[in-house]
Amino acid sequence: MLLLMARAVSAQADENVLGVAESRLQLSQIAGLLAGQYDNEPQRHYLTGMKRGATAPSRLNLRLIKQSDSPLVFALEERDGNEHQSIARRGVLTLSADSVTREILTSLEGTACRWRWAHVNGLWRATPEGDCAGSLPRVAGKTWWLGTEELWIERSGESVMIELGRAHDYDCFVAVDVPNGKSFARTGLKVHDRGGTVRLTTEETPPRTLELMLRRGMWPSNSGNNLVELLTLYLQEVGAPEVIGTGWATPDSPRVGFGAGGQSSGGDRAVNARCKRLE
């Protein structure tokens, strides 16, 4: 009986052992997906619009920046809020292969916390192991689910995961006509499409502060008839409830923009904005 049990344990262990080539491929695939900027603003917008705002995780902007290829090292930066906030927590992640099973591991420098990766239903799952108690980054000690466009962070016992959307950068242009000042245009404005923002100050008396925001995510619809993913561009005066202009496009569109106001449409002021995705 003991011999049969030992053989069963040995067979199970062998199933987890990766070949050398397979291990190298997984390491390359995970490293290629991991780098980038992530933000959960679209998740918060959706849950708020669906009257579930109380369940929304707090805002998190996460950056994973590759620092070296050999070994594979990533800098981790967490911001509590949007991308303009100061860095709240830092970490250094190293990807490597397990010396026995050749499974891919991610270790958090300076701690005993690490993750073990596996390919599950088309996603990469990173399961935490070791001592993660007291580890500084918010995402430490939690299960990661990594896809091509999202990174979900799951903690045992929580009903809602943090859904971090992969952000892509856009180059934007804004032109505003003002009634009692100098009309102005701004080019080269960089925003990301997961709730990224940029602020502008108009040249009028008194000046106004405008905010351009770009969001790619699920559009909330309590009726359930319009649950679609959209790329939405907004221009709004900071502190004012009304939106000056807005435009929509499909989520994978490389361009989005709008034009509003002006004499041709019966308004006294014209505003135009457009954004183009950067490769």
Instruction: Output the average pLDDT for the chain.
Output: 90
Per-residue pLDDT averaged across 74-96, rounded?
A: 98
DSSP per-residue string spanning 116-168: EEEEETTEEEEEEEEE-TT-SSTTTTSEEEE-SSEEEEE-TT-SS-EEEEEP-
Q: What is the pLDDT of residue 224?
A: 78
Which residue carries 């008839």 as its tokens? 225
Contact 142, 157 (CB under 8 A): no
Q: What is the pLDDT of residue 11?
A: 38
Kindly tell me if the per-residue pLDDT of 9 is higher than 70: no
Higher-confidence residue of 268 and 222: namely 222
pLDDT bracket for residue 159 (50, 70, 90): confident
Pairwise CA distance, residues 193 & 65, whole Å: 18
For 160: left if phi > 0, alpha if psi spans -120 to 50, otherwise beta; the answer is beta
- And the tokens for 84? 């303009």
Q: What are phi and psi of 45, to 5 degrees?
A: -60, -45
Per-residue pLDDT averaged across 139-152, rounded?
A: 97
CA-angle at 107, arms to 103 and 111, nearest 5°? 145
CA-angle at 183, arms to 178 and 247, nearest 5°? 75
3-state helix, strand, coil in the chain (%, to 5): 15, 50, 35
Kindly tell me if the per-residue pLDDT of 154 is higher than 90: yes
CA 70 distance to own-chain centroid: 26
- CA 259 → CA 44, 156, 244, 272, distances in Å? 27, 46, 10, 4
Q: What is the pLDDT of residue 264?
A: 43
Dihedral of CA atoms 127, 132, 134, 140 in degrees, nearest 10, equals -30
Domain locations in the chain as residue ranges: 15-166, 169-277
Kindly tell me if the per-residue pLDDT of 7 is higher than 70: no
Which of 68-82, 83-97, 174-188 has the lowest average pLDDT?
A: 174-188
Per-residue pLDDT averaged across 120-142, rounded?
A: 94
